[in-house]
Amino acid sequence: MKNVYLVDYARSAFTRAHPRKPEVDGWADERGDALLARVIDALLQRSGLAPDAVEELSVGCALPVKEQWSFGGRYPLWLSRLGPQGRACASRQIDQQCGSGLAALRSAAREIQAGAVDVAIAGGYENMTRVPMGPTLFQQGVLTAPGALRDAAWLELEVVLNMGLTAERLARVAGIERDAMDTFALESHRRAARAEAESRFDGERLALANAAGETIVRDANVRPDTSPERLAGLDPVFLEGGRVTAGNSSPLTSGAAAAVLMSPAALVRHAATPLARLVAFADVGVVPERMGEGAAAAAERALALAGLDAPRIDAWEINEAFAAVPLHAMGRLGLDPERVNVWGGALALGHPLGATGVRLAGTLARILAQRGARYGCATACIGGGQGTAVILERM
């Protein structure tokens, strides 16, 4: 199979989503597919890549319903500069829940590995103000579950369908206490604030104007002033007497991200310098009631496929859907905390579900470059009991 290279990556600023208070979300008046189109255009412009050079567009979205249904990825293609010029560009939309962005990256990479295309874009988006989370969509009848599964002896569907309850279950089974999760959340905000102060996100995060003409430059969820006392004062959200709070869970978020992938021949043809080589992808299934275990399990499989072990990984991006997830992975894999989410994670930056996987991989590639390190692993748990991971090598 051909090698695949991540050549460039960009994202919008991530905003705080709130379906009942849309005024707090800077992207409340922007469709997710339109926001992704603007990110794609920015990538094309700064790379000098002609729209008709792109042969493949894979789009991740965790809730591809209502206006987030993209007609198989055609809407963001048509809304971007790929539109008329990219008529021959194939597209698809992928729902692998929180792994949708990494699934889009994997799908595009596989096409290049197989020799089907030479240049592809993988993107993802979610506007969690305009299209709310699952519970609301279940109440509206937009989402449904098979009745037969409600009586399945092997499945606790009421837990599986509530991500917060799966995090509670993982924390209890793995022995992760609330103070550890709060401490991890505090450090995520501190690292994100420090990365912001050091301008670490300037190379990836775009300054884009919203419908009101306001240029959104910063990620809205970072709380530099949070404290142990504030986090300790929050009540459990999902379970009375539980451990999971709004402070140690990722916030509702809107945003979009995209990355350009190329084959070796395309690198030469377009005189492009890659950020990283995509070494290995891995997907796994895990117990659905403890879906957070998927991040560690997928990383283990990706390491095995790449012929590596955890100590050889210089930087990790483990999605902070809940603090329990990276804490579980760090314990299971024996990771050095100083190598994990060094610029903060989803607890602080936010988690626009379909865009997150692209952010994980793109940010990881930039961290490897900044640190002069060789290998990195990005991994995420997935609702329904899955995990997905990718290993990168800096070029």
Give me the half-sphere count of Cα atoms (radius 13 Å) on the Cβ side of residue 186. Answer: 14
Q: Other C-beta atoms within 10 Å of 372: how many?
A: 8
Give me the half-sphere count of Cα atoms (radius 13 Å) on the Cβ side of residue 142. Answer: 15
Q: In this structure, are residues 148 and 285 in contact, taking their beta carbons and an 8 Å threshold?
A: no
Provide the token pair at 246.
């709004």
Beta strands 119-127; 56-60: pairing state:
parallel
Q: How far from chain centre, in Å, is Cα 272?
A: 25
Which of 189, 270, 328, 351 is catalytic? The answer is 351
Q: Could you confirm whether 98 is annotated as catalytic?
A: yes
Q: In this structure, are residues 56 and 90 in contact, taking their beta carbons and an 8 Å threshold?
A: yes
Nearest by Cα to 348 from 139, 192, 180: 192
* Measured distance CA(160)–CA(37) in Å, rounded: 33
Provide the token pair at 253.
């978020």
Give me the half-sphere count of Cα atoms (radius 13 Å) on the Cβ side of residue 310. Answer: 19
Q: Which helix (H) or strand (E) is 386 found in, with range?
A: strand 386-394
Which of 61, 98, 270, 328 is catalytic? The answer is 98
Q: Could you confirm whether 18 is annotated as catalytic?
A: no
Which of 61, 89, 377, 381 is catalytic? The answer is 381
Nearest by Cα to 329 from 340, 343, 342: 340
**Buried-exposed string 192-223: b where 16+ CB fall within 10 A, e elsewhere:** bbebbeeebbeebbbebebeeeeebeebbbbb
**Stated length of the chain:** 395
Q: Which residues are catalytic?
A: 98, 351, 381
